[in-house]
Structure 1
Amino acid sequence: MAAGGWQSLKAVARYTLEEGNAALITRALLQQNKTDGFACVSCAWAKPAEPRVAEFCENGAKATAWELTSRRLSPEFFDTHPVSELRGWSDHDLEAGGRLTAPMRYDRATDRYVEVTWDEAIADIAARLRALRAEDPKSAVFYASGRASLETSYAWQLFARVYGNNNLPDSSNMCHESTSVALPESIGVPIGTVHLEDFGQADCLLFVGQNPGVNSPRMLHLIKEARDRGVPIISFNPLRESGLVRFVDPQSPMQMLTPASTTVSTQYLQVKVGGDLAAMTGVAKALLTSAVAGGQGLDREFIAQHTHGFDAFAAWAMQQPWEDIERESGLARAALERVAAVLGGAKAVIAVYGMGLTQHRLGVKNVQMLCNLLLMGGHMGRPGAGICPVRGHSNVQGQRTVGITEKPELAPLDQLAAQYVFKPPRDKGLDTVGACQGVLDGSVRAMLNLGGNLLRSVPDNTRLEPAWSRLALTVHVATKLNHTHLVPGETSYLLPCIGRIEIDRQAGREQRVSMEDSTGFIHASQGVAEPADERFRSELAIVSALAEATVGDAAQVPWAGWREDYARVRAAIATTYPKIFHDFETRFVLPGGFPKPNAARERDWKTPTGKANFIVPGALVADPDAPGHPPQTLRLMTMRSDDQFNTTIYSLDDRFRDVSGTRNVLFMNEADIARHGLQAGQRIDVRTAADDGVVREVRGLTVRAYDIPEGCVAGYYPECNPLVPLWHHAEGSHVPAYKSVPILVQPENAIP
């Protein structure tokens, strides 16, 4: 099945009708990702200065319909549904219930959420936070999901630091933290170097561990344009994914009215799960071998002038035996040499990657190895070339830009101290894995959640939930109900907020917010629909009210003024980060927004060596936990369906993989099914192959034969998260290694 086409249009129409408010949703879609409209609440893919008439994809349309639904979860709903009952509902059914409408507090005596006033909620939360702060300010965690605006994110990080800690974990800790660690060491910046216009100048696209058909479908338009120019596209992915095979452009009359389609990948290499390092090493070795023989592959002038460490890297790559490379990658030498031949002849290569690279034990090395390949050909800081990490949540990259980080060295603490007259904490805070460990050992007492569904997102969640319920305070700023809300701490609040698509009025004026996309451009976003309920407050209003009530006298922060006029927050951001946000108010409303400074695009390398660095990976296996286990051990990768965005499940179907009505599926190679004495359609139980004394299992999955390398299996995220140990994370970045988990499978109920 091709990505896009009539099936995509049918899906958009179905969701628009099912959610009600069809006319409202349709009008909103025409303003999605437009200069005078709102930034998509789904993925962070770039917003063009000259948008198409329909500048949204199927997933973005679903996200808009999901937020503008006519369904409501009123206080009366909670009167009839105790939390213990709701905990048994699926992720899909919980969010499908509709928008939360009123602030709620959990009543342990009745096991129900009950309505409270905003004043009661703010006052009680603030009082409890002040009491915890007096005991230990490091016991509270300020988690951010990645959707909040730059204005709200800036206020959130300041709230945490005035409170007394740098405990600012976010969703980037679970996806692209490996990027944030790897790229500064390689090229001196923590973000990608590619802008949208580069795709029109590239003569080769390389996709590694990124499936645009599911994760960032608007990118498929750029891919189609590249293929129309004859640009080769090389894809490395364990599963044969529709979005990397064929695309039918819903905005092309020719393709919609004829059997025509775009062939996406000119070379498709089904690398073994965890075999990316070996595969990229094979390509590098082939490029080096060709160069020695006088062929193409190396930009020697660029390497000499702009890089450091090439000789050590080249020696290491040449020493790796082809038999080891083939075994670990699952790919033939000839296939990798064909990739090298295309890369070697290209003048401008863009390398696109996602969590298929970052969510491994050696995820940082994966990213740096991809940088090595680009540096070999000089494909960095050149028009039409560079590295392009594709972010997930719509403003997760922007949150980092304005200070959401647990690492004090990455925040302008001296500037914040002078600007707001307080002493920011200087010790390292908790990232997401550290926060989870703190919940388990009891050192974390309060979890404040700016969006998200953290308990479903994190590894080891079945082990984490009992400890979470012992927290003194849990607070959730949210639009819809999710599973994390149903594991309340001793005191727990739900605070319903205005969605980004809704009009945000403060002091009688409509407010704009700002967002940063995957390519580092800052855009304005303005709501276009009336709020679903008059009781809603904006995220910034909630955060500033909580901060004012909790730490209002601890720093000179104009919390109340910020609530009234978001331009005042942007002015404060520009004062804190003048190099990035100068003339903020005039630039962010321009078509296409404005770009952050990016030294690597100018071949200005902000590294200790003053050059771009080749980094020796030192290993061929991206997940060293996997080898050494019994022969029956399989490598599990978790993934998303086409009807899903992160933990939001729009339906139980996955049409690209021909699955309907369930997510309890394990995709297996036919040879592995036979080797384990199983049959397609059989129900099985899965257990993690780890010797740490903890039993981790998921029961009742159905075997599905699929085109995936032998020894590798795939299952859905977050359903398979209980199989991922909390300690199974990337070295250097702590990103959970969701993409290569050693597991064992047994027929259902065979595990005692």
Structure 2
Amino acid sequence: MSKETKEQPAAENPEALHKLKVTKPKEWAAGIPAVAAALADVFEETGVVRGPGALFKMNQKGGFDCSSCAWPDPDDDRSPVAEYCENGAKALAEEATTKKLTPEFFAQNSVIDLAKLDDMEIGKKGRIAQPMYLPKGGTHYQSISWDDAFHKIGDKLNSLASPDEAAFYTSGRTSNEASFVYQLFVREFGTNNMPDCSNMCHESTSVGLAEAIGIGKGTVTLNDFYDTDVIIIIGQNPGTNHPRMLTALEKAKNKGSKIIAINPLHEAGLMGFKNPQAVKGIMGITTQLADLYLQVQINGDMALLKAVERLLYDAEQQEPGKVFDKEFIEKSTVGYTEFIERVKHFNVDALCAAAGVRVEQVKAAADLLKYKSKIIICWAMGVTQHKNGVDTVKEIVNLTLLKGSIGKAGAGLCPVRGHSNVQGNRTMMIWDKPKKEQLDKLQEVYGFTPPQQNGFDVVESIKAMQEGKLKVFFAMGGNFLSATPDTTYTADAMRKLELSVNVSTKLNRSHLVHGEEAIILPTLARSDKDVINGEDQFISCENSMGVVQMSKGVLEPVSKDLLNETQIVCGLAKATLAKRTVIDWDRFANSYDAVRDDIGKVIPGFENYNQRVRLPGGFYLPNGAREGKFETEKFKDRAPFTITQLPEHKMADDEYMMTTIRSHDQFNTTIYGMDDRYRGIHNERRVIFMNPKDIAKAGLMQGDKVDLFNYYDGIERVARLFIIVPYNIPERNTATYYPEGNVLVPVNSVADKSNCPTSKLVFIKIRKHVG
């Protein structure tokens, strides 16, 4: 962990403990406590009128999209009272706060003093009210005009030896409109260095699905959940990360669906749900969710899937044609014979041992699937953030192909994205590896020649900063430092930049660990009114299931000196490209409709965008795989079975596997509070969850203070001062909260093909803390 000096503000949360209280973990999620927690945050940050009034417009038709998760809104029957979850309400409280940071605040608080605060304290300070500039050698941010900020950034960009000395990051909150003009500016400037939050989270999904079914997105709609027989949830914790999904799961259960949960930790949101909008939920009656809970070891998912496939193969041999969908396999797939030859030789006992699940439980899972074809498989970062993440996604596809569980109602693949428009960003061409046909379309429509070579993704950008290849880093939203792996390495890399720029709503640690110069550009939040030339505007987003809908803010902004993201990009483009641009940036800055008109010319599926996005509930984008049409790079109209390998993990006797997780009181890097009530953790985040047997074997005790070490590539990485908490987790498995555990995630440990950091599997050693 980096040590603070006068020149270098702290890169991580302070090594300080609070008064930890541990209670029994919950076996259900939501209920009245969720309502109380949500409203308490809203009232505290916004008062009794501003925030509560906005809640009634969140996720409603004609209202604004929650800036939290990307779970879809119902096409029709949306709740008139609360079409949001606890974390959605907390996200609104964060951005609708009446607290704001003026030049006086920054004059009174140095960068180093602010860095001494923890991430929650930094975020709770309030909204940034005007552009801020930190000069070279400066200790305090100072106000700067928009024009001066744009020209300072533009001058720096134009001074670079090559456009490839700059990188332009995008977070998942950025709208379709802003994302489109952003990538347009970056490509006219001359680079494809466009790392984004997908690189850190679901890139393994995008790569794996594109190769297996021809599209890097899921294939189901929300209504499919109400017409399915079995839902498998693997490597995902909906109760904390996608709470609105619980309502869909409850509805599916009420219609007779079975749920199989696969996760190393017993999570409340996979076991039970008390619906705060239903009478029985208000009365405290719990809907049981998981019919079968398979507690795999960390990264035991691949072994489990292979064991299920072998058991289903055996059942198919006993009852030919009743278990596998042979008609679908023959008509719509390729590679079945080679694949099934491998399956024949799978050893179920060995695979179950590798997965860490009893054979009887795996057989029970196979029995639930045996005669069913309406199967939905959901997953998130518990699958993607592993070295074999792409292959595990493909193994999930293999199972659906065997069962014919794709391209039909009530069946398919459901990668559940995190941030609210992360899927829309990629659709809008925020991508470091654009396809030739995409670049050709830009040239056809606009007349300039886009750069052809691939750019830097997130991990490549960090390394390029460290090596001095990047001079400027521009972040459209997000908290890059706290979200990325190997915190000390990343912080050191960012300090080598000549200029770092962040488009933000609130203060975060990425503003405090910066380049030689730093600029903060404050922008409107999703819930803010966006008024251009006296007219209320709206943006649009794409959810996890490919629905594009409008989002229109309702709150008066806390400052008159804020610009929307599209205006910021256009101002920067004009200052940077000046007379050499071929694009009318003022047209975009003055009209989202103009942006959408151009999106319709460039992006397939967005024809008549302005008309369709104004329909209540928006519109679905084309999805061939949803209709059973597969067109991959290698095969036309057929989805290939994939031969994958079982991962092998070798640990020293004193090593453990560690996974990073979110607490219930956070969303991504935004920390709402210090409690994780579902897991029974109160007033603390620096904890490590361990199996009680491991604690005893190591000669440790509950409550002991320990330091955590990782030695990947021969480099010692240290996370100091964590408290041991016994938990229901497999032996030799541990868990810590993110971002506190990120310092242990090696920058060079990435998923094959996708380059995703392996944040869900880090090998660590645990030693008693001295001091």
- Judge same fold: TM > 0.5, yes or no: yes
Distance in 2 between residues matched to 1:568 and 1:161, nearest whole Å: 19
Corresponding position of 1:159: 185
Given the alignment of the two structures, is residue 136 of structure 1 paired with residue 162 of structure 2, yes or no? yes
Distance in 1 between residues matched to 2:522 and 2:655, nearest whole Å: 45
Normalization by structure 1: what TM-score? 0.97
Corresponding position of 1:672: 694
Distance in 1 between residues matched to 2:667 and 2:119, nearest whole Å: 12
Aligned partner letter, 1:213: G
Is the CA contact (8 Å cut-off) linking 2:86 and 2:243 kept in structure 1?
Answer: yes
Q: 1:298-377 residue pairs with structure 2 within 5 A?
A: 298-377=324-403
Corresponding position of 1:274: 299
Corresponding position of 1:294: 319
Secondary structure of 1:200 counterpart: helix
CA deviation string 1:153-185 (max 9, x = no partner): 001101111111100110000111101100011
Aligned partner letter, 1:498: L
Secondary structure of 1:581 counterpart: coil
Is the CA contact (8 Å cut-off) linking 1:349 and 1:384 kept in structure 2?
Answer: yes
Q: How far off its partner does 1:109 sit? A: 4.4
Greater displacement, 245-254 / 101-110: 101-110
Is the CA contact (8 Å cut-off) linking 2:307 and 2:347 kept in structure 1?
Answer: no
Corresponding position of 1:435: 461
Aligned partner letter, 1:591: P
Secondary structure of 2:719 counterpart: strand
Corresponding position of 1:75: 103
Tell me the number of residue pairs that the alignment of Structure 1 and Structure 2 aligns. Answer: 741
Q: How far off its partner does 1:107 sit? A: 3.3
Distance in 1 between residues matched to 2:197 and 2:605, nearest whole Å: 23
Distance in 2 between residues matched to 1:518 and 1:90, nearest whole Å: 32
2:566 to 513, 517, 540: 540
Is the CA contact (8 Å cut-off) linking 2:39 and 2:89 kept in structure 1?
Answer: no
Q: Percent identity?
A: 39
Aligned partner letter, 2:542: E
Greater displacement, 738-747 / 292-301: 292-301
Q: How far off its partner does 1:466 sit? A: 2.0
For the aligned residue pairs, the C-alpha RMSD in angstroms reads 1.3
Corresponding position of 1:726: 747
Distance in 1 between residues matched to 2:405 and 2:300, nearest whole Å: 23
Distance in 2 between residues matched to 1:612 and 1:93, nearest whole Å: 52
Greater displacement, 417-426 / 566-575: 417-426
1:705 to 721, 726, 746: 726
Pair 1:635–1:20, CA change in 2 (3 A) = same
Corresponding position of 2:659: 637
Q: How far off its partner does 1:410 sit? A: 6.3
Q: How far off its partner does 1:446 sit? A: 0.5
CA deviation string 1:365-408 (max 9, x = no partner): 11111111111110000101000000011001001111100013
Distance in 2 between residues matched to 1:528 and 1:21, nearest whole Å: 16
Corresponding position of 1:116: 144
Given the alignment of the two structures, is residue 409 of structure 1 paired with residue 430 of structure 2, yes or no? no
Corresponding position of 2:681: 659
Corresponding position of 1:52: 79
Is the CA contact (8 Å cut-off) linking 2:64 and 2:527 kept in structure 1?
Answer: yes
Pair 1:17–1:410, CA change in 2 (3 A) = farther
Is the CA contact (8 Å cut-off) linking 1:633 and 1:689 kept in structure 2?
Answer: no
Is the CA contact (8 Å cut-off) linking 2:120 and 2:673 kept in structure 1?
Answer: yes
Pair 1:162–1:250, CA change in 2 (3 A) = same
Q: How far off its partner does 1:417 sit? A: 1.0
Aligned partner letter, 2:135: D
CA deviation string 1:639-666 (max 9, x = no partner): 0011110000000110001111111000
CA deviation string 1:481-527 (max 9, x = no partner): 00010012111101111111101111221111110000001000111
Distance in 1 between residues matched to 2:420 and 2:434, nearest whole Å: 24
CA deviation string 1:690-740 (max 9, x = no partner): 2x2321110100000000011100100111001010111100001111111
Aligned partner letter, 1:271: V
Structure 2: tracts of 5 or more residues without a match: 1-25
Distance in 2 between residues matched to 1:75 and 1:573, nearest whole Å: 38
Normalization by structure 2: what TM-score? 0.95
Secondary structure of 2:605 counterpart: helix
Aligned partner letter, 2:709: R
Aligned partner letter, 2:392: N
Structure 1: tracts of 5 or more residues without a match: none
Secondary structure of 1:47 counterpart: coil
Distance in 2 between residues matched to 1:614 and 1:270, nearest whole Å: 29
Secondary structure of 1:341 counterpart: helix
Secondary structure of 2:714 counterpart: coil
Q: How far off its partner does 1:617 sit? A: 4.4
Q: How far off its partner does 1:448 sit? A: 0.3
Distance in 2 between residues matched to 1:617 and 1:633, nearest whole Å: 30
Aligned partner letter, 1:27: G
Is the CA contact (8 Å cut-off) linking 1:275 and 1:620 kept in structure 2?
Answer: no
Is the CA contact (8 Å cut-off) linking 2:416 and 2:544 kept in structure 1?
Answer: yes
Distance in 2 between residues matched to 1:78 and 1:527, nearest whole Å: 28
Distance in 1 between residues matched to 2:135 and 2:271, nearest whole Å: 52
Corresponding position of 2:546: 520
Distance in 2 between residues matched to 1:628 and 1:30, nearest whole Å: 52
Distance in 1 between residues matched to 2:703 and 2:319, nearest whole Å: 53
CA deviation string 1:565-623 (max 9, x = no partner): 1100000000112x3101111111212211110001111111222244344443222xx
Secondary structure of 2:46 counterpart: coil
Given the alignment of the two structures, is residue 91 of structure 1 paired with residue 112 of structure 2, yes or no? no
Distance in 1 between residues matched to 2:237 and 2:525, nearest whole Å: 27
Greater displacement, 322-331 / 605-614: 605-614
Distance in 1 between residues matched to 2:620 and 2:471, nearest whole Å: 39
Given the alignment of the two structures, is residue 237 of structure 1 paired with residue 263 of structure 2, yes or no? yes
Corresponding position of 2:714: 693
Corresponding position of 1:600: 625
Is the CA contact (8 Å cut-off) linking 2:58 and 2:66 kept in structure 1?
Answer: yes
Greater displacement, 317-326 / 232-241: 317-326
Is the CA contact (8 Å cut-off) linking 1:16 and 1:25 kept in structure 2?
Answer: yes
CA deviation string 1:56-93 (max 9, x = no partner): 00110110111001111111111111101111111100
Corresponding position of 1:215: 241
